[in-house]
Amino acid sequence: MKVIGSAAKTVFYLKKIQGQYPSWRLHYKIKCKSTEHELSNWLRYSEIKRNQPVAIIAREQFSGFGQNSKIWVSKKGGIWLSAAYPIFSKEFTSQIFNLSLGIKICEMLRQDNINVCLKWPNDIFVGSKKLIGFLPRVITRGKETIYVRIGLGMNVLNQTPSEGISLSKVLKTKNINQDYWTAKVIKAFHDSIECNNKKEYVIKSANKFLTKRFLPSGFCPQTWKIKDIDSNGNLRIQNDTQEKVLRRF
């Protein structure tokens, strides 16, 4: 495992929990514009290699963004990272990639008795508050998926806006090891790739974790309600007279 910068503690925990995993290349930033910007620059000048995923981890970012370019407040105390994972396959199912990552993060947190749910397509909530947001992308060449990438933010010890919640508030303690949780997030990303060929399991798990409390923007909760996630990873919503299918990709 190649480490660039001060990511040694994350590497320590990753080695303890990862088992026989690929050799990650980790870069650590004290402060940056955004880890997405840093990762894009790295990919522009460096070739992603088979069996060597790369992650950029920042202590603080001053211009982070999420879904639909919404600003993501990224103060010290959170986990802010972007990662790219080599695929090089025509068999990868891109339609369920966001769900496979979502369910693996949910499973990871529920192992620690944190009752989280999945807000389709790519948010992890505790009750009515956002704990984690992630932005998935699939990079293809013809019919082949070359690599997938994510930008992810997790509230841990940082102050959050009113719509968010931190892990420290959920667990009611500030005695939280950020490096350990960073390693767990990276492992969840790997696990999401490993289960991509288990479509039925991914869809079933996604429906198990799915919260139906929050409709996508533009739909009135007095009129519409969430039905489920269909076999292609799309969200189905319905009202008294019709059904709509909302697609992530």
CA angle (44, 22, 20) in 5-degree steps: 170
Check residues 138 and 72 and name the one with the higher pLDDT: 138
Whether 102 is in a domain gets the answer yes
CB 73 within 8 A of CB 34: no
What is the number of other CB atoms lying within 10 angstroms of the CB of residue 31? 11
Please give the residue that has the higher pLDDT: either 188 or 1. Answer: 188
**Domain-embedded: residue 229:** no
The pLDDT mean for the chain works out to: 91
CA dihedral of 75, 113, 182, 204, whole degrees rounded to 10: -110
Say if 222 falls within a structural domain: no
DSSP-derived secondary structure letter, 215: P
Cα–Cα distance, 19 to 90 (Å, whole number): 26
Q: Is residue 124 part of a domain?
A: yes
Q: What is the pLDDT of residues 6-52, one digit of tens each?
A: 677 888 888 888 765 668 899 999 888 899 999 999 999 998 998 89
Domains identified in the chain, total number: 1
Contact between 148 and 135 under an 8 Å Cβ cutoff? The reply is: no
- The angle, 0 to 180 degrees and rounded to 10, between the axes of the packed helices 178-194 and 8-18 is 50
Does any domain span residue 30?
yes
CATH of the domain at 202: 3.30.930.10
- pLDDT for 85: 97
- Is position 17 within any domain? yes
User: The domain containing residue 203 runs over which residues?
Assistant: 2-216
What pTM was computed for the model?
0.92
Tokens linked to 145: 């998926």
181, 156 Cβ separation under 8 angstroms: yes
**246 within domain boundaries:** no
Whether 149 is covered by a domain: the verdict is yes
